[in-house]
Structure 1
Amino acid sequence: MDVSQQYREAWEGYWSATSDTPGEAIWDSDPSLTAVPHTELLLPHADPSLPVVDLGCGNGTQTRYLATRFARAIGVDLSHAAIGHARRADPAGVAEFGQLDLVDADAVAALRKRIGDTNVYMRAVIHQSEPEARPAVAAAIAALVGERGRAFVVEPTPASKDVLQQVAQGPDGPPEKLRRVLAHGLKPASATEEEVRRLLQEAGLATLAAGATALAQTEFLPDGTRVELPSRWFVLALAGHLDGGRR
């Protein structure tokens, strides 16, 4: 299976049109608002001596933080342009970056063979994936964690659509960061909470912990309030391997 050419080109187009300036992507929040609290939720269940793979890493902002908490951090993204951003932002080579199509089961298996059991960090990937590709995205998580790895997955809920609609209805229309997302045909918050739960379960993943949160964005409302998307988070393990993560 592969993602559609249209979807691939949408992401290449988006990242090609994005500068290296931190925060230009609407979701490129400082790790203190994202990967830091997310890691605190994951680490009680995970072995930090294992690697961590950041699925859908974009320009690698969160991956570079994850490299400070795990033995090795690898960021992967569908877009070659995104990986270019990530490598330029990390001249010291704190993390590793590479292009990967999550629905390409052979490519995912090759990564798993290369690094072994791994922890997974995935922020807001299922919700914007093509519906027919979502089961394969969830399966990629299961394939990578193996017996010892653990995953942290956070996805916007449909309530995020209301927030984005409010943002888009400002006096000048959508702000620039949101306008660019929409202009490239990307569709945020298009998966329901029930679908996300079902996809993870059907991929063979068991939930160790879960809760509600909000994903901080780099855009603000006219009154200065930061845009935050209502979301759900999950800490996951491969079913049948719930006691082998934390060391």
Structure 2
Amino acid sequence: MSASERYARAWEGYWAESKGEPGEPFWDADATLTAAPHTELFAPHVDRTLPVVDLGCGNGTQTRYLAGHFPRAVGVDLSASAVAHARRADRDAVAEFEQLDLADLVGVRRLGDRLGEANVYMRAVLHQSDPADRAPVAAAVALVLGRRGRGFVVEPTAAAKAVLQQVADGPDGPPERLRQVRKHRLRPAEVAPGELPALLGGAGLAILDQGETGLAMSQRHPDGTRVALPAQWFVVAAAGGSRPGG
């Protein structure tokens, strides 16, 4: 079995055992703490008349928020069980969800052909991707954007590893959310300094804006404060692409 196949099975195993409820996964913080502030960072660069695609949507928490800010929101995920959870949770049918392996660029291109140019939201996907799949995942962002779309990409930095270790070393040991992550071997990969800009540039993407942030998790520390992972964010576009409205 290839590394990519193990990766896909690990995610499907995780979501198949999950109830898919908001806040159940370690990373599934409420959209007011995640997609909402990210959308504010994204807003100056984006054409709101285009659809938005949530790459690696999981149970759809962030996709449903994005659906209120774009004319069409589509969430895609590697795991069929994650997509099923997302559809069940979308009681008002505000978004669309489908299974898609982001490393399958033929499938990604088909999605782009159906939607036309679109914006992209991608939260903490590259660092969890198998190293061999990171360049194709970055290329998937470019394929969905086309010339007019803009992408918001946010990923934990290497410093996140110390925060995760602190959570695991709590007085009662790793919390259940983190135990489930470890059980299914969904280990966050360490991202080397400069790796993310290199991946984005290698996919033909230009960085329009960037910064640092704390990526909110659903888990809290024993003192009640929310776990937040040090992260980098980037707003990207096709190199040489037109400006919104241009």
TM-score w.r.t. structure 2 length?
0.97
Q: Is 1:157–2:157 an aligned residue pair?
A: yes
1:8-157 alignment runs, 5 A limit: 8-157=8-157
Q: Secondary structure at the match of 1:4?
A: helix
The letter for the 1-side match of 2:38 is H
TM-score w.r.t. structure 1 length?
0.96
Task: Give the corresponding residue for 2:221.
Answer: 221
Q: In the aligned structure 1, how far is the partner of 2:182 from the partner of 2:141?
A: 27
Query: In 2 relative to 1, CA 63–39 (structure 1 residues): closer, same or farther, beyond 3 Å?
Result: same
- Structure 1 vs Structure 2: percent identity of aligned residues? 60
Does the Cα contact within 8 Å between 2:138 and 2:200 map onto a contact in 1? Answer: yes
Q: Output one character per residue of 1:84-138: Cα deviation in whole Å (capped at 9) or x when no partner.
A: 1000001221000000000001100000100110000000000010000000000
Task: Give the corresponding residue for 1:194.
Answer: 194
Q: In the aligned structure 2, how far is the partner of 1:154 from the partner of 1:124?
A: 6
What's the offset of the Cα at 1:3? 6.8
Does the Cα contact within 8 Å between 2:214 and 2:228 map onto a contact in 1? Answer: yes
Q: In the aligned structure 1, how far is the partner of 2:96 from the partner of 2:147?
A: 23
Q: In the aligned structure 1, how far is the partner of 2:200 from the partner of 2:20?
A: 33
What's the offset of the Cα at 1:174? 0.8
Does the Cα contact within 8 Å between 2:4 and 2:133 map onto a contact in 1? Answer: no
Q: In the aligned structure 2, how far is the partner of 1:20 from the partner of 1:198?
A: 34
Q: Secondary structure at the match of 1:197?
A: helix
Task: Give the corresponding residue for 1:232.
Answer: 232
Moved over 6 A (4+): none
Q: In the aligned structure 2, how far is the partner of 1:103 from the partner of 1:38?
A: 24
What's the offset of the Cα at 1:80? 0.2
The letter for the 2-side match of 1:154 is V
Q: In the aligned structure 1, how far is the partner of 2:216 from the partner of 2:90?
A: 23
The letter for the 2-side match of 1:233 is W
Does the Cα contact within 8 Å between 1:205 and 1:236 map onto a contact in 2? Answer: yes
Q: In the aligned structure 2, how far is the partner of 1:246 from the partner of 1:171?
A: 53
Q: Output one character per residue of 1:25-80: Cα deviation in whole Å (capped at 9) or x when no partner.
A: 01111111000010111111111110000000000000001000001000000000
What's the offset of the Cα at 1:141? 0.3
